[in-house]
Amino acid sequence: YKCSRCSNGYVSDFVNALGHTPKTTTTKATTSKNGSVVTKCSVCGEAISSKTIYYPKSITLSSTSYTYNGNAKKPSVTVKDSKGNKISSGNYTLSYSSGRKNVGKYSVKITFKGNYSGSVTKYFTIKPTATSISSLSAGKKAFTVKWKKKTTQVTGYQVQYSTSSKFKKATTKTISKNSTTSYKKTKLSAKKKYYVRVRTYKTVGKTKYYSSWSSAKAVTTKK
């Protein structure tokens, strides 16, 4: 290399003869701050080159929500720096929480290495299998809804009904037994149209995980 201060513009042979060698210092990028690779003259301190190591600003999982099917889930990870460029997988290791088959919340820990430091933990969930309405019948100021039974990784069900097709101001009834497959709602308005849908849920610890709602069906109560 050529140092203008030490060699006065001469080629690197002159500089090296004086024992002036380049010194490179790497400051690792953290999960929130850029790092750098700076090369300076070891004698006078003149900067010869400088390169920014852009920090990993965006860390995303290929999916953050799965539906239970008995198979272990392992979402892939994409890391991009603060310039939007992809950081290769050689710059970090991945550590997945155990299990990842049953309904619940799981983690992926991304630990950086090389020119990067620090770690970030991302989370994904596995939700229970959804159900569907098998029948919906009208009664006197009432309706009865029946659905398909789901028992694997399912604690119970929720029935939701509303006079709005968009389920505004909806009422939700929780059924705590997964063996129950019907619900009758009484004391409704006569000759009124109601929209009904059902979903499953699974309780893990103190947290309830819900499936997606079934397709809604409509029923008009009798007088």
Confidence band of 21 (pLDDT split at 50, 70, 90): confident
pLDDT of residue 201: 98
Amino acid at 71: N
pTM: 0.83
DSSP letter string over 68-90? --SS-----EEEEETTSPBPPGG
Q: Which residues contact 158 (CB under 8 A, 6 or more apart)?
A: 172, 173, 174, 175, 198, 199, 200, 201, 210
Q: How high does pLDDT run on average in the chain?
A: 92
Nearest by Cα to 218 from 189, 188, 197, 199? 197
pLDDT of residue 4: 60
Confidence band of 10 (pLDDT split at 50, 70, 90): very low
Confidence band of 198 (pLDDT split at 50, 70, 90): very high
Q: Is the pLDDT of residue 124 over 90?
A: yes
Q: Is the pLDDT of residue 12 over 90?
A: no
Measure Cα distances from 32 to 28, 56, 119, 139 in Å: 11, 7, 11, 61
